[in-house]
């Protein structure tokens, strides 16, 4: 039995030595044999693959050339066949003012000489809030708000987020004092930015921003999003006449 155990131990040690030594290489730039490549190679880098090197063949003409490019202006991703969803995700029809080129870095954007923030006062939220979807809507709104807004606007929307309390920023409003802001103006502010806040258009899609608008309206009026037995909302919202 003792002899067999020694043979087994010797076999295990020999196997381990082969595996360890087999992972070594004379190439100083090589990580060696990767037993668990997923631990080393993040899928997040795949869009930036060096197309100059394919299966060991080097194409110097495209080596190190950027492969993940910004889609051409005006192109629209495919959002399915639901007409309401497609209309919701179409490009925003309002433009930022020309001053946003300097104040918010919107160079190269299609800007307007008009104050379209003021014109957005009559824009209503096309993403309808109902008794059936309100719970999910506010749950998603809270997730987005926590990730994107709470650090400045505060958990309760009072403008006392950690960044403000630390002294890094100031002048963040209390939403209760901004109850006159319409759906469209809130959307416009999130999309293009306002004051010290930058544009979130590259961080959130239109559906997510309109979801945030519903969540912010809850800060403005605690009864927003409450429905009676008949499915009527306590805070009556005007009909959407913008076609947005």
Domain boundaries, the chain: 83-220
Integer Cα distance of 216 and 204 in angstroms: 15
Residue 57's alpha-carbon distances to 63, 98, 101, 153, in angstroms, are 11, 49, 44, 52
pTM value is 0.69
Fold of 83-220: Cytochrome Bc1 Complex; Chain D, domain 2 (1.10.760)
163 alpha carbon, distance to own chain's centre: 20
189, 200 contact by CB (below 8 A): no
Per-residue pLDDT band for 150 (boundaries 50, 70, 90) equals: very high
Task: Evaluate if residue 240 carries a pLDDT over 50.
Answer: no
Listed in order, strand segments (DSSP E) in the chain are: 53-54, 57-58
For position 143, what pLDDT does the model report? 97
Q: What is the pLDDT of residues 18-65, one digit of tens each?
A: 777 666 666 776 666 666 666 665 555 445 556 666 666 777 776 666
> Confidence class of residue 3 from pLDDT cuts 50, 70 and 90?
confident
The pLDDT, as a whole number, for residue 7 is 75
Lowest mean pLDDT among 80-94, 146-160, 196-210, 230-244: 230-244
Name the more confident of 100 and 77.
Answer: 100
């Amino acid at each position: 039995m003792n002899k067999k155990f020694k043979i087994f131990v010797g076999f295990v040690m020999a196997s381990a030595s082969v595996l360890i030594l087999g992972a070594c290489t004379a190439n100083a730039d090589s990580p060696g044999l990767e037993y668990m490549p997923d631990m080393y190679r993040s899928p997040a880098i795949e869009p930036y693959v060096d197309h100059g090197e394919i299966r060991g063949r080097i194409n110097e003409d495209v080596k190190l050339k950027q492969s993940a490019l910004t889609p051409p202006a005006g192109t629209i991703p495919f959002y399915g066949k639901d007409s309401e969803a497609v209309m919701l995700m179409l490009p925003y029809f309002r433009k930022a003012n020309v001053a946003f080129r300097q104040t918010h870095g919107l160079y190269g954007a299609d800007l307007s000489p008009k104050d379209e923030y003021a014109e957005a006062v009559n824009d209503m939220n096309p993403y309808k809030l109902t008794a059936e979807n309100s719970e999910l809507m506010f749950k998603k709104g809270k997730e987005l708000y926590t990730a994107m807004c709470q650090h400045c606007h505060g958990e309760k929307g009072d403008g006392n987020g950690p960044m403000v309390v630390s002294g890094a920023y100031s002048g963040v409003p209390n939403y209760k004092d901004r109850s006159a802001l319409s759906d469209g103006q809130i959307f416009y502010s999130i999309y293009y930015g306002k004051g010290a806040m930058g544009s979130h258009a590259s961080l959130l899609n239109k559906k997510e921003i309109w979801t945030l608008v519903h969540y912010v309206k809850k800060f403005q009026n605690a009864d927003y999003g409450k429905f009676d037995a008949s499915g009527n909302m306590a805070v009556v919202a005007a009909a959407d006449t913008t076609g947005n």
